[in-house]
Amino acid sequence: MIDARYQAFDAVVQTRSFEAAARRLNLTQSAVSQRIKLLEAELGQVLLVRSKPVQPTPAGRRLLPYVAQLRLIEAEAARALAGDGAHAPVRLSVGVNADTLATWFLPAVRQVVKDEAVVLDCVVDDQDHTHALLAGGDVLGCVSTRPDAMRGCAVRPLGVMRYLCVASPEFCARHFPRGLTRQALARAPGIVFGRHDDMHDLFLRQHFGLDAGQYPQHVVPSSEGFWAMAAAGLGYGFVPAIQIAAQLSDGTLVDAAPGHAEDIALYWHHWQVQSPLMAKLSDAVADGARAVLAAA
């Protein structure tokens, strides 16, 4: 059983309220407060800002990843002690970018999720920012572009996701009759995923000297909706090649910038000390990625 003090801290952080945490734990608010005070006294750190809503302090945020691991170990221990009967589901939180989730991630983890009765909590963010979710204790593993391991973590190379700048043939004929030029790109609507998606901006800046704000763009925060908008002739943008193989083959989409593919190396980050179930998931992620992605 997870230490009652850590359990109280975890509940307050998740509910952002001493009162709500007390209801969750079936305790009085005073008992929850006392347990957290004892934990703070033992660690010599203030862990919570007593505001509305309650927020973890910097020290509290550093503690969160370890509390998440304790919670998972407790759940797995309970399953192990229950014997060989039907497993109670165990929740595993992972950080993934939308393109990974839409292409290779779910096939990679499918068997582990089925066999081990895992409930996945997929937290979606840009691949350049998912490691912050791991550092903050929001997830137990993440797909990221960061090649170096954070403190207390391990990292595995997954492979390279290739992105192509695509559009419909009709869009290219209308907007790029002479190919991609600075003048044409300043008028043609691009497609970006969201505020963290800088691939489009970097491409136009590096190759055509166009800065953000000097060209129109649709914002489409959906991996499937992104390429569907391009196929509908409404814009152009960078899409994973593995996601649109059929559309490229049948001519629905074409490569609007031949020779300018963007290769993004991906890595799987997880805590060095993993529970047995999380270790199985990590192995499945690495094996599944290697089967689909190009070698780095």
Q: What is the pLDDT of residue 51?
A: 86
**What is the rounded CA–CA span in Å between residue 218 and residue 285?**
32
Long-range Cβ contact pairs of 77-84 (< 8 A, separation 24 or more):
none
Tell the residue number behind the tokens 């691949």, with chain if given: 127
Beta-bridge partner residues of 167: 254
Signed CA dihedral, 83, 89, 93, 94: sign only: positive
Q: What is the pLDDT of residue 187?
A: 96
**pTM (two decimals):** 0.81
Structure tokens at 60: 């509290």
Q: Are both 1-58 and 161-263 of the same fold? A: no
**What is the rounded CA–CA span in Å between residue 94 and residue 123?**
6
Structure tokens at 55: 């927020």
Contacts of 184 by beta carbon, 8 Å cutoff, 6+ apart: 175, 176, 178
Q: What is the pLDDT of residue 218?
A: 96
SS3 150: coil
* Domain parsing of the chain, residue ranges: 1-58, 161-263
For the CA atoms of 78, 83, 84, 87, the dihedral, rounded to the nearest 10 degrees, stands at: -20
Q: What is the pLDDT of residue 6?
A: 86
Q: In 10 A of CB 123, how many CB atoms? A: 14
**What is the rounded CA–CA span in Å between residue 241 and residue 220?**
18
**What is the rounded CA–CA span in Å between residue 119 and residue 116?**
9
Beta-bridge partner residues of 237: 166
CATH number of 1-58: 1.10.10.10
* CATH for the 161-263 domain, from 1.10.3720.10, 3.20.20.70, 2.40.50.1020, 3.40.190.10: 3.40.190.10
- The tens-digit pLDDT sequence of the chain (296 residues) is 678 898 899 889 889 999 999 999 999 999 999 999 998 988 888 989 988 899 899 888 888 888 888 887 777 777 777 766 556 788 899 999 999 999 999 999 999 999 988 999 999 988 888 888 888 778 889 999 999 998 888 999 999 999 999 999 999 999 999 999 999 999 999 999 987 788 999 999 999 999 988 999 999 999 999 999 999 999 999 999 999 999 999 999 999 999 999 999 999 999 888 888 899 999 999 999 999 998 86
The two counts, helices (H) then strands (E), for the chain are 13, 11
Environment class of 159 (CB within 10 Å of its CB; exposed 0-12, middle 13-18, buried 19+) = buried
Q: What is the pLDDT of residue 149?
A: 92
